Amino acid sequence: MGEPEIKSTPLLVNGILYFTIPDHVYALDARTGLELWNYDWVDAGGHLVGNRGVGMSGDWLYFLAPDGWFISLEAKTGKERWKKKVADEKMQYFTTAAPMVVGNHVIVGVGETRSTFPLSGIPRSCDRGVTVALVQ
pLDDT in tens, 83-123: 988 877 777 677 777 888 888 888 887 776 655 444 455 55
Higher pLDDT: 21 or 111? It is 21
More confident residue, 11 or 125: 11
More confident residue, 67 or 28: 28
Q: How confident is the model at residue 66 (pLDDT cuts 50, 70, 90)?
A: confident
Q: Pick from 78, 74, 66, 57: which is nearest to 126 by CA?
A: 57
Q: Is the pLDDT of residue 129 over 60?
A: no
pTM: 0.80
d(C-alpha 66, C-alpha 41), whole Å: 10
Mean pLDDT, the chain, rounded, equals: 80
Q: Is the pLDDT of residue 67 over 90?
A: no
pLDDT in the model for residue 119: 45
